[in-house]
Structure 1
């Protein structure tokens, strides 16, 4: 069997709000990163995890979890990273790309 053929198995990757993905992390097809998830640098995420999961490793496993009640309260108050940076006078583009 030839490993490369003309069949493409495409599945979407879904990234919900307030997800942080570390440098060189890989998110495989079909994975959903739920709200508030943190993916460590170099992690290889092969499956979906619950909201607020802290993921690391290859394959990524849940190494911790965020306090989602406190997290959602901060979001409702507008006290999340991008809003705080914008209040300091930085535009979204500068927050994501500091060049």
Structure 2
């Protein structure tokens, strides 16, 4: 049996209505995560910043990005290259 392609995974993801199920879908593998983030418009970084190298290239539709973790120049360059529709960038220290 061949692995599912990104188009098939995106079709499956788009037909999931429950947000908890969508969250579980993202946790299956990096391929599933990349597919899910393709349709994301808003991203609040609550995951390790190392995952940004996997998520951002798959997220061209992001218009809002928020992160309270330190980002390197490489992260910011990747954000600028991968998210051409970015309108709002919120960076700062973690707030309690």
Normalising by the smaller structure, the TM-score range is under 0.3
Q: Choose between structure 1 and 2: higher strand proportion.
A: 1
TM-score normalised by L of structure 2: 0.24
Larger radius of gyration: 1
- Structure of greater relative contact order (alpha carbons < 8 Å, 6+ residues apart): 2
Q: Choose between structure 1 and 2: higher helix proportion.
A: 2
TM-score normalised by L of structure 1: 0.23
